[in-house]
Amino acid sequence: MAISLNESETGDKGEVFRDVHMKGMQDTLGLMNDAAVMCHMMDDLIPEDADADLRQYAQVLVDWRADQYKAKEDRLNDQWTEFLDAERPWEEWAW
C-alpha cells in the first residue's frame, strides 16, 4: 500500500506538518544550497581574465546569496528543533 501525504488521506495534521515543518525547512536548505553552490558556479562560468564589470556583477550576486544564507542560518536551527519536536501525523496512520 502506498503512503501519501495528501490532505484527503492524512487530514489536517499531515497538511500542517508538511506546510509548517517540512516546507519551511526545505526552503531554507534550498536557499543555503544555492548560496554554497553559486560561488563555485561563478568560478566555473566566469574566467579570471573576464571583464572587471562582469566579475564585479558576479560578486554582487554571490554576496547577495551569502547574505540570504546568513539570515536563514539561525532559522534552520529553530526549524530543525521544531521538526524534531513536532507530532508526526503518520504515527496515527494504519500501515
Do 29 and 72 meet the contact criterion of CB atoms below 8 Å apart? no
Instruction: Give the residue among 85, 39, 89, 45 at the shortest CA–CA distance from 60.
Output: 39
pLDDT band at 11 (very low <50, low <70, confident <90, very high): low
pTM of the model: 0.61
The yes-or-no verdict on residue 19 having pLDDT over 80 is: no
Is 73 contained in some domain? yes
Domain with 64 in it: 51-88
Output the pLDDT for position 51.
93
In a domain, 57, yes or no: yes
**Residues 52-76, mean pLDDT to the nearest whole number:** 88
Which whole number is the average pLDDT over 17-42? 84
Note whether residue 15 is domain-resident. no
Count of domains observed in the chain: 1
On whether residue 84 sits in a domain, the answer given is yes
